Amino acid sequence: MKRRHSVPLAWLKNVKDADSFGELLRNNTQLFTVFRGILDDMYEELERGESSLEDFTPEWAYKQAHRNGQRTTLRRLKELTDFIEG
């Protein structure tokens, strides 16, 4: 039997009935599986986009900082769906 992860507190922060809402989230596995796939695709697109030599311009450090921020955001969004096991 697979162990179900807890719903992250961020989902329940301003919800009056956390138990019901948590169950609603856990019952939408198809939605979250598709969403995780979208995030994976976005992450892969980001990774592919920085292999060009044209990226190494004087503004490279700013572009890299922006991409690092995008990576962090995508990882954090994916972590919000870790309670769904695919």
Residue type, 11: W
Domain that holds residue 79: 19-28+41-48+55-86
Helix axes 29-48, 60-79, angle to 10 degrees: 160
State the pTM of this model.
0.75
Q: Other C-beta atoms within 10 Å of 81: how many?
A: 20
- The contacts of residue 4 (CB under 8 Å, 6+ apart) are 26, 83, 85
Q: What Rg, from alpha-carbon coordinates, does the chain have?
A: 17
Q: What is the largest CA-CA distance in the chain?
A: 54
In a domain, 74, yes or no: yes
The confidence score (pLDDT) of residue 22 equals 87
In a domain, 69, yes or no: yes
pLDDT along the chain (86 residues), means of 10: 69 91 89 93 86 74 90 94 77
In a domain, 67, yes or no: yes
DSSP assignment of 29-43: HHHHHHHHHHHHHHH
In a domain, 66, yes or no: yes
The confidence score (pLDDT) of residue 3 equals 47
Give me the number of domains the chain comprises.
1
